[in-house]
A = this chain, B = another copy of it.
Amino acid sequence: MSPGFASKVPAVAALDWGTTRLRAWLIDGSGKVLAERRGDDGLITAREKGFSNVLEGHLGAMGAPETLPVIICGMAGSRQGWLEAPYVTVPSPIGAILAGAARVPGQKRDIRIVPGLAQRLADTPDVMRGEETQLAGAGLPAKGREIVCMPGTHSKWVPVEDGAVTGFGTWPTGELFSVLSAHSILRHSLGEHPKPVTADNPFFRRWCQTALSEGGDVTSRLFSIRAAGLLQDLRPDDAASCLSGLLIGGEIASARRRYGIGAAPVVLVASGALATLYGEALALAGLSVRTVDADEAVRAGLVEAARENGMIARTGVAR
Interface locus among A142-150, A168-176, A269-277, A280-288: A168-176
Cross-chain contact of A220 among B87, B119, B254 (Cβ < 8 A): B254
Q: Which residues of chain B come closer than 8 Å to A176, judged between CB atoms?
A: 184, 219, 222
Interface members, chain A 178-207 (any B CB < 8 Å): 179-180, 182-185
Interface locus among A4-12, A34-42, A106-114, A121-129: A121-129
A223 near B172: Cβ-Cβ < 8 Å: yes
With known contacts A175-B185, A179-B183, A257-B217, A210–B123 Cβ distance under 8 A: yes
The CA of A183 and the CA of B224, in the complex, are separated in Å by 22
A251 lies within 8 A of chain B by Cβ = yes
B228 near A172: Cβ-Cβ < 8 Å: no
User: For residue A186, which residue of chain B has the nearest CB?
Assistant: B172
A69 lies within 8 A of chain B by Cβ = no
A216 lies within 8 A of chain B by Cβ = yes
User: For residue A116, which residue of chain B has the nearest CB?
Assistant: B230
Cross-chain contact of A180 among B173, B179, B216 (Cβ < 8 A): B179
The CA of A219 and the CA of B243, in the complex, are separated in Å by 14
A247 lies within 8 A of chain B by Cβ = yes
The CA of A259 and the CA of B23, in the complex, are separated in Å by 50
The CA of A180 and the CA of B220, in the complex, are separated in Å by 16
B227 near A127: Cβ-Cβ < 8 Å: yes
B231 near A219: Cβ-Cβ < 8 Å: no
A154 lies within 8 A of chain B by Cβ = yes
A220 near B171: Cβ-Cβ < 8 Å: yes
